[in-house]
Amino acid sequence: MGFAYFWVLLILLGFCFQAKILNSQSLACNSNDLRALEGFLNGLESGIDGWGSNSSSDCCSWDGVICEPWQSLGVENSTLPSNRVVRLELGRRRLKGKLSESLASLDQLRILNISNNFIRGSLPIKLFHLQNLEVLDLSYNEIAGSIPVDANLPSIWFLDISENYFWGSIGAGICNNSTRIRVLNLSLNYFSGKFPAGFGNCSSLEHLSLNSNHLSGSLAEDLFWLQNLSRLNLGDNRLSGPLSMGIGNLSNLVQIDISLNAFSGFLPDVFLAFGKLQSLSAHSNNFTGCLPVSLLNSPTIYMLNLRNNSMDGPIDLNCSAMVRLTSLHLSSNQFHGPIPDNLPLCRELKTVNLARINFSSQIPESFKNFQTLSCLSLSNSSLHNISAALGILQQCRNLSTLVLTMNFYEEEMPSDLTLQFESLEVLIIANCKLTGLIPPWLSNSTKLQLLDLSWNHLSGTIPVRFGSLEFLFYLDLSNNSLSGEIPRSLTQLPSFIYRDILLKEPIADFPLFVRRNQIAMGLQYNKVWSFRPTLDLSYNMFTSIIWPEFGNLKQLHVLDLQMNNLSGPIPMLSGMRSLETLDLSHNSLSGTIPRSLVNLNFLSKFSVAYNHLSGSIPLEGQFQTFPSSSFEGNKGLCGEPSILAQVEPEATIPEPSIAPGPSSSSLPLKL
Ligand SMILES: *[C@@H]1O[C@H](CO)[C@@H](O)[C@H](O)[C@H]1NC(C)=O
Ligand SMILES: *[C@@H]1O[C@H](CO)[C@@H](O)[C@H](O)[C@H]1NC(C)=O
Ligand SMILES: *[C@@H]1O[C@H](CO)[C@@H](O)[C@H](O)[C@H]1NC(C)=O
Ligand SMILES: *[C@@H]1O[C@H](CO)[C@@H](O)[C@H](O)[C@H]1NC(C)=O
Ligand SMILES: *[C@@H]1O[C@H](CO)[C@@H](O)[C@H](O)[C@H]1NC(C)=O
Ligand SMILES: *[C@@H]1O[C@H](CO)[C@@H](O)[C@H](O)[C@H]1NC(C)=O
Ligand SMILES: *[C@@H]1O[C@H](CO)[C@@H](O)[C@H](O)[C@H]1NC(C)=O
Ligand SMILES: *[C@@H]1O[C@H](CO)[C@@H](O)[C@H](O)[C@H]1NC(C)=O
Ligand SMILES: *[C@@H]1O[C@H](CO)[C@@H](O)[C@H](O)[C@H]1NC(C)=O
Ligand SMILES: *[C@@H]1O[C@H](CO)[C@@H](O)[C@H](O)[C@H]1NC(C)=O
Ligand SMILES: *[C@@H]1O[C@H](CO)[C@@H](O)[C@H](O)[C@H]1NC(C)=O
Ligand SMILES: *[C@@H]1O[C@H](CO)[C@@H](O)[C@H](O)[C@H]1NC(C)=O
């Protein structure tokens, strides 16, 4: 009897279900859900196309709202069948305004995605109690709040609240009840306090991102229970202590980032346990000791970044094992030399950063065969013999970025006409006190984009053929002993005029350090494409006039010609529409300041101090913002710049023997 009843019920249920599917179009959206969505909409400053009072009252037809038919069966107060909102897909719509509490009453919600908007306000606590919620993506908004201690999201598998204003403790308590969670991304918030125990209970976790918060303390050991963890990102916090051997338990790790913390002690020798590890970034910590043998034999690792630690010992890679290694960053450590000559045997190796390691050696002969090499930095590594170095490196046919700053002291720049660097895009050999000429062979490096030979003792003239380097957009020859005319051909550099050239970044993750000026002591690092088009010939002995054709350089941002012996008038220059810095100080320029300069809307640094200028100082446009120090030392100039604020002048005479740091433009330094 009971059995028969069961079958009847099942058939009836089947009918109901089918009927629901058939009717789903005609079902109205549930009135609770309608109210919840209207509440959400009311909180927004911007509307959502196709939503609201003028649209259909069937909220399930609104853009980004996905419903499913739903009926509460068997409950005594059975409601009418209706459509319930199960997904809200509103990512990347430029929505502005407050996050409404009412969203949390969408109790059938499985996916809530409002990522990449401008949504503010505090977090509705109840959102963390939605029993059916599987995916919650609030990333890239301006939401503030903390994760409730009693959070209960039993169905969740993807939770991303990165890049918001969340604060408080990191809330590993979410792992108590969310045992299915696979992706947890809390990065780029303001979480603080000690790294908590509790993540070990998120046993299905695959991606854990806590980077760029203010977490401190050492890692809780239960983190190392997470057998399925493949991405662990803890970078840019204040974590400390040694890295425990327990991490070797995480045999599925593919990516580890613990950079920019205060971890110390030895790197545990557990890398044989990682059968899938592709990338290890542990730069900018306080690790000591040798490179672990298991790491130097990893057949899977692709990117290894340990720069800026205190590690020592030799660099002894087993290239016949490290068959995937592509990118190697070991700079700023206390490793001892010589430069490992077996690197060319690592058959995928493209990027090598061994700067600021005291090698006291030459570039190994074997580098002649380094055909994969694309980016190399060895700045400040006590190298000698620049002729041999360039002779060897020119054989690396794929070399596109070469940084050799602060080496080869007082050697002579080779001008050997047989040198050829066909693939070169970035060349930085600054602060070496090199004598000799600007290498004429560089004119044949037709792909050159960025050239910095500043802070040397180079003499002679700039090769006229530099004017035909069609990709060159950053030229810094400042602080040398160059003389003669500034080649007129430089006013024809296409990148200074059009910049429609699509610069490709030679290789990601190879930042160049720059120092903005004397006062900002810190090093800033930048990607090549973020450098501003610059011509810096300051602190030399050029004697020409300033060519009127400079006025055509629409795309040039920085023009620094200070401390030369330039004469004649300042040309109109009104076409230099992108110019931000113009420094012509300490020359022998005469005539007046052309009034057309007031039309340079982006000009923020300007100096004509210490010349022989006369006439009146323009008072319009950006000239209202320049201090009087921009004009001093010109006997014939009259009128006062409109602000007389006592702006501290920047220290003008840099000290070449200390770290380079010229006047106003960016100086790529080392890497
Ligand atoms: C709604 O419709 C009325 C009349 O058609 C119109 O005046 C009003 O601007 C509309 N409101 C919105 C938000 O589109
Ligand atoms: C059913 O409805 C009545 C009156 O509307 C209400 O008092 C009662 O609490 C409801 N029961 C349930 C289980 O919702
Ligand atoms: C959320 O929406 C954005 C924009 O449509 C999309 O890129 C992102 O992958 C979505 N998030 C999830 C978890 O599906
Ligand atoms: C976890 O779930 C149980 C049962 O669903 C509930 O009683 C408990 O309060 C939840 N824990 C937290 C921390 O919310
Ligand atoms: C997780 O559960 C344990 C034991 O049930 C409890 O002691 C702890 O407070 C819970 N954590 C949170 C954050 O609720
Ligand atoms: C993990 O969850 C269990 C069961 O809820 C609990 O007893 C334990 O305290 C939790 N661990 C932590 C560190 O919260
Ligand atoms: C770990 O991943 C495997 C393979 O995907 C899966 O079978 C297993 O259930 C996962 N373990 C946990 C605890 O989720
Ligand atoms: C976490 O979020 C950040 C910022 O939104 C993103 O860059 C990162 O890739 C995410 N991490 C994971 C593991 O998805
Ligand atoms: C390694 O993982 C196992 C199983 O999850 C766990 O029992 C053990 O405690 C872990 N070892 C360490 C050192 O964390
Ligand atoms: C080097 O690491 C320290 C922390 O250990 C950090 O403060 C500093 O900014 C890092 N320097 C560079 C150039 O990355
Ligand atoms: C790094 O460690 C050394 C010795 O282990 C210590 O003297 C130094 O203060 C530490 N540096 C930082 C930034 O923690
Ligand atoms: C540039 O290359 C051409 C042939 O490709 C060669 O004849 C010429 O000498 C080279 N010029 C310099 C300055 O190296």
d(CA 446, CA 425): 8
Looking at the CA of 309, name the nearest ligand.
10
Ligand 1 centroid to 41 CA: how many Å?
15
So what's the pLDDT on residue 626?
92
So what's the pLDDT on residue 641?
60
> Three-state SS string across 19-75, please?
HHHHHCCCCCECHHHHHHHHHHHHHECCCCCCCCCCCCCCHHHCCCEEEEEECCCCC
More confident position, 184 or 171: 184
Highest mean pLDDT among 41-55, 170-184, 654-668: 170-184
Nearest CA to ligand 10 atom 6: 284
More confident position, 359 or 654: 359
Query: 152 in ligand 6 pocket by Cβ < 6 Å?
Result: no
More confident position, 28 or 415: 415
Ligand 1 centroid to 62 CA: how many Å?
17
Which tokens hold the place of 501?
Answer: 């050239």
Burial of 59 (0-12, 13-18, 19+ CB in 10 A): buried
Nearest atom of ligand 10 to the alpha carbon of 262: 5
Query: 262 in ligand 11 pocket by Cβ < 6 Å?
Result: yes
Q: What is the DSSP letter of 3?
A: H
Nearest CA to ligand 11 atom 3: 286
Confidence grade of residue 31 (pLDDT, cut at 50, 70, 90): confident
Pairing of strands 65-70, 82-89: antiparallel
Q: pLDDT tens digit string along 97-108? A: 999 889 999 989
Q: pLDDT tens digit string along 402-412? A: 999 999 999 99
User: Strands, E, within 180-247: which ranges?
Assistant: 183-185, 190-194, 207-209, 214-217, 231-233, 238-242
Ligand 4 centroid to 177 CA: how many Å?
6
Contact between residue 426 and residue 465 where contact means Cβ atoms under 8 Å apart: no
Query: 308 in ligand 10 pocket by Cβ < 6 Å?
Result: yes
Ligand 11 centroid to 648 CA: how many Å?
36
Ligand 9 centroid to 171 CA: how many Å?
22
pTM of the model: 0.85
* Dihedral sign of CA atoms 620, 621, 625, 629 in order: negative
Looking at the CA of 139, name the nearest ligand.
8
The amino acid sitting at 547 is W
Question: Residue 536, SS3?
Answer: strand
574 located within any domain:
no
431 located within any domain:
no
- Of 13-27, 86-100, 160-174, 647-661, least confident by mean pLDDT is 647-661
For residue 32, the enclosing domain spans 21-113+123-131
More confident position, 172 or 406: 406
CB neighbour list of residue 548: distance below 8 Å, 6 or more residues apart = 571, 572
Ligand 3 centroid to 89 CA: how many Å?
8
212 located within any domain:
no
Phi–psi pair at 481, nearest 5 degrees: -120, 40
Q: Residues near ligand 7 with C-beta < 6 Å?
A: 203-204, 228
Question: Residue 207, SS3?
Answer: strand
The amino acid sitting at 2 is G
Looking at the CA of 307, name the nearest ligand.
10
Nearest atom of ligand 4 to the alpha carbon of 152: 14
| Residues of the chain above pLDDT 90, percent | 72
Query: 501 in ligand 11 pocket by Cβ < 6 Å?
Result: no
Question: DSSP states of 110-166 as a string?
Answer: -EEE--SSEEEEE--GGGGG-TT--EEE--SSEEEE---TT---TT--EEE--SSEE
What is the number of structural domains in the chain? 1
d(CA 2, CA 10): 12
CB neighbour list of residue 216: distance below 8 Å, 6 or more residues apart = 192, 193, 194, 195, 237, 238, 239, 240
Residue to mutate (ligand 6; options 201, 204, 205; most atoms within 8 A of CB): 201
Ligand 6 centroid to 175 CA: how many Å?
8
Q: pLDDT tens digit string along 298-350? A: 999 999 999 999 999 999 999 999 999 999 999 999 998 799 999 999 999 99
Q: pLDDT tens digit string along 193-244? A: 999 999 999 999 999 999 999 999 999 999 999 999 999 999 999 999 999 9
Which tokens hold the place of 211?
Answer: 């980077």
Looking at the CA of 91, name the nearest ligand.
3
Q: pLDDT tens digit string along 260-298? A: 999 999 999 999 999 999 999 999 999 999 999 999 999
Ligand 2 centroid to 85 CA: how many Å?
23
Ligand 10 centroid to 311 CA: how many Å?
14
* Dihedral sign of CA atoms 521, 526, 528, 534 in order: negative
Residue 100 belongs to domain with CATH number = 3.80.10.10
Looking at the CA of 230, name the nearest ligand.
8
33 located within any domain:
yes
Which tokens hold the place of 58?
Answer: 């069937």
Contact between residue 405 and residue 428 where contact means Cβ atoms under 8 Å apart: yes
Query: 201 in ligand 6 pocket by Cβ < 6 Å?
Result: yes
Q: How crowded is residue 350: how many other Cβ atoms within 10 Å of its Cβ?
A: 21
Contact between residue 492 and residue 465 where contact means Cβ atoms under 8 Å apart: no
The number of angstroms, rounded, from the C-alpha of 657 to the middle of its chain's C-alpha atoms is 31
Nearest atom of ligand 12 to the alpha carbon of 440: 13
Closest CA to 539 of 457, 630, 436: 457
Looking at the CA of 180, name the nearest ligand.
7
Nearest CA to ligand 1 atom 6: 54
318 located within any domain:
no
Residue with tokens 């613990």: 258
Query: 203 in ligand 6 pocket by Cβ < 6 Å?
Result: no
Across 551-561, average pLDDT: 94
Which tokens hold the place of 328?
Answer: 């190697």
Query: 464 in ligand 12 pocket by Cβ < 6 Å?
Result: no
Ligand 12 centroid to 431 CA: how many Å?
27
So what's the pLDDT on residue 636?
87
> Three-state SS string across 231-263, please?
EEECCCCEEEEECCHHHHHCCCCCEEECCCCEE
Looking at the CA of 74, name the nearest ligand.
2
Residue to mutate (ligand 12; options 413, 417, 444, 448; most atoms within 8 A of CB): 444
Query: 198 in ligand 6 pocket by Cβ < 6 Å?
Result: yes
Question: Residue 346, SS3?
Answer: coil
145-151 contacts, C-beta under 8 A, 24 or more apart: 146/171, 147/171, 147/173, 147/174, 149/173, 151/177, 151/178
304 located within any domain:
no
51 located within any domain:
yes
Q: pLDDT tens digit string along 114-170? A: 999 999 988 888 999 999 999 999 999 999 999 988 889 999 999 999 999 999 998
Query: 545 in ligand 6 pocket by Cβ < 6 Å?
Result: no
Strand order in the sheet with 238-242: 96-98, 118-122, 142-145, 165-168, 190-194, 214-217, 238-242, 262-266, 286-289, 310-314, 334-336
Ligand 10 centroid to 327 CA: how many Å?
20
Q: pLDDT tens digit string along 455-490? A: 999 999 999 999 999 899 999 999 999 999 999 999
Q: How crowded is residue 335: how many other Cβ atoms within 10 Å of its Cβ?
A: 21
Q: pLDDT tens digit string along 571-608? A: 999 899 999 999 999 999 999 999 999 999 999 999 99
76 located within any domain:
yes
Mean pLDDT, the chain, whole residue set: 86
d(CA 231, CA 358): 34
Report the b/e string of 357-390 with b at 16+ CB within 10 A: bebebbbbeebeebebbbbbbbbbbbbeebeebb
Question: Cα separations (Å) of 420 from 395, 398, 440?
Answer: 8, 12, 10
Which tokens hold the place of 354?
Answer: 């061994």
Ligand 1 centroid to 113 CA: how many Å?
28
- Of 125-134, 408-417, 526-535, 536-545, least confident by mean pLDDT is 526-535
Query: 158 in ligand 3 pocket by Cβ < 6 Å?
Result: yes
Nearest atom of ligand 12 to the alpha carbon of 419: 14
Beta-bridge partner residues of 512: 526
Question: Cα separations (Å) of 366 from 147, 363, 385, 389, 644?
Answer: 56, 8, 16, 11, 61
The number of angstroms, rounded, from the C-alpha of 379 to the middle of its chain's C-alpha atoms is 21
